[in-house]
Amino acid sequence: MPDAPSVDLVTSELHGSLEDPALTSMNLLNEVTSRFPRALSFAPGRPIERFFDLESVHSRLRTFSRHLAQEQGLSEEEVCRTLCQYGRTKGIVHELIAQNLARDSGIDADPEAVVVTVGCQEAMFLVLRALRADERDVLLSVSPMYVGLTGAARLVDLPVLPVASGPTGIDLGDLAAQIRTAREQGLRPRACYVMPDFANPSGLSLDLARRRELLALAEQENILLLEDNPYGLFHGSEGTPPTLKALDTDRRVVYLGSFAKTVLPGARVGYVVADQRVAAADGEVGLFADQLSKIKSMVTVNTSPIAQAVVGGALLEHDFSLEQANTRERGIYRGSLNRLLTGLHSRFGECPGISWNAPTGGFFVCVTVPFTVDDALLEHSAREHGVLWTPMSHFYSGAGGTNALRLSVSSLTAEAIDEGLDRLTRLFAEQQADILGSSGES
């Protein structure tokens, strides 16, 4: 028997995404987090877990089963088959999702245009896979951008052109310019990805006027908008403007939905609303959702109906309003955000060079500092000061974010926020002293 070779494969002969910062940075951040389990962490965008309850998983399954029997008239055998057997590729909670969208987001969605996916990540992947026909295709995205978007794009070899967010959440002049330049280079801009409410990572939101302008620009330039909305329900007292999809009269918007923050991350259920009309080579016209469904059948076949039932049960139990179901969580997130903003003000309000934005909702605040923020500093911060956060540079596809960090409040108590800020204060003071020290030396 021959000795086993010590190496069987080399990454240079595997898909390029595996060496891409988008995929490796996620791993690196998880790795740092796991090495410092006792550090206070402003890093993860995870929802509050203290209200999770395993019994509710059981009761939601039962609620959904009852719904199938009583409302849809299925026999016991048919209910069992629906939850246990292979099933509809586009999912089994599409009608409930359409009702939820009408109730919470002002979106009038055809249930047939809904594809239920394994989390919002799969929804994103399906859309990008469909839109990337050849090497001319490019995606635009507001920058700094969500790593999951960059990673999914990389998996289908779709370049992402960054669009400046500016102070208003999107610089429409830059978007128009990027589209123009791309076309001059023979490229084909297909869509622009945007989180209009409390974006990850910037925390920025688009106001109503900006949303209308963005829709008008998308129509004028003939591109799609990929609207991702995981945080919209976690707003302040003033609420949020209508979603892009609610304002969309022209089927410009592909709407990406997540239940990870509003129902349960462990269900891994998301969806996409894709009501665009697609003409096939034979002239037949169908929904974009059906094209995405074809791709889904070759990625995950269908989303676990058991997982879908957990989400479906939650929708039924809350009369389709996750806005209402999350009243308590929304209050907590808002309290945490205020605590963070107040704490930043009291500690750094007088510090030249340190600034931050002040979102009225969502999970994230972005802090700018007068020193370099990179992975080495994160590791130092974890080791020496016991506090974790995310370097903003991970959210830029090129240069950018080297002086900023993202703080997430979603999984911290008020006390942990205060203590975390104290630790951050020590880190910042140390770094600023270093700057003063080194500038003294020069």
- Hey, which residues between 75 and 134 contact its own copies (CB under 8 A)? 79-81, 83-87, 118-119, 121-122, 125, 129-133
Selected binder of its own copies within 218, 256, 295, 365 (CB under 8 A): 295
Q: CB of 297: closest distance to its own copies in angstroms?
A: 6
Residues 6 or more apart in contact with residue 380 via CB below 8 angstroms: 427
In terms of CB distance, is 310 or 373 closer to its own copies? 310
Site string for its own copies, 34-53 (x = CB under 8 A): ----------x-xx-x--xx
Residues 238-277 that bind its own copies (CB under 8 A): 249-251, 260, 264-269, 276-277
Residues 204-223 that bind its own copies (CB under 8 A): 219
Q: CB of 396: closest distance to its own copies in angstroms?
A: 17
Look at residue 161 and give its three-state secondary structure.
strand
Selected binder of its own copies within 75, 297, 372, 402 (CB under 8 A): 297
Measured CA to CA, the distance from residue 131 to residue 148 in angstroms comes to: 17
Sheet holding 270-273, edge to edge: 114-117, 270-273, 253-258, 224-228, 188-194, 137-143, 160-164
DSSP 184: H
Measured CA to CA, the distance from residue 189 to residue 205 in angstroms comes to: 23
What end-to-end distance do the CA atoms of the chain give, in Å? 64
- The count of chain residues that interact with its own copies, using the rule CB under 8 A, is 93
Please identify which residue in the block is written with the tokens 């309003």: 321
In terms of CB distance, is 33 or 168 closer to its own copies? 33
Residues 410-439 that bind its own copies (CB under 8 A): none
CB 393 within 8 Å of CB 376: no
CB 410 within 8 Å of CB 334: no
Q: CB of 360: closest distance to its own copies in angstroms?
A: 25
- Supply the DSSP string of 418-437, one letter for each residue: HHHHHHHHHHHHHHHHHHHH
Closest residue by Cα to residue 310 from 263, 247, 273: 263
142 touches its own copies by CB under 8 A = no
Residues 6 or more apart in contact with residue 65 via CB below 8 angstroms: 79, 83, 309
Please identify which residue in the block is written with the tokens 């939820």: 100
Residues 164-193 that bind its own copies (CB under 8 A): 188
314 touches its own copies by CB under 8 A = no
4 touches its own copies by CB under 8 A = yes
294 touches its own copies by CB under 8 A = yes
In terms of CB distance, is 209 or 299 closer to its own copies? 299
325 touches its own copies by CB under 8 A = no
In terms of CB distance, is 13 or 238 closer to its own copies? 13
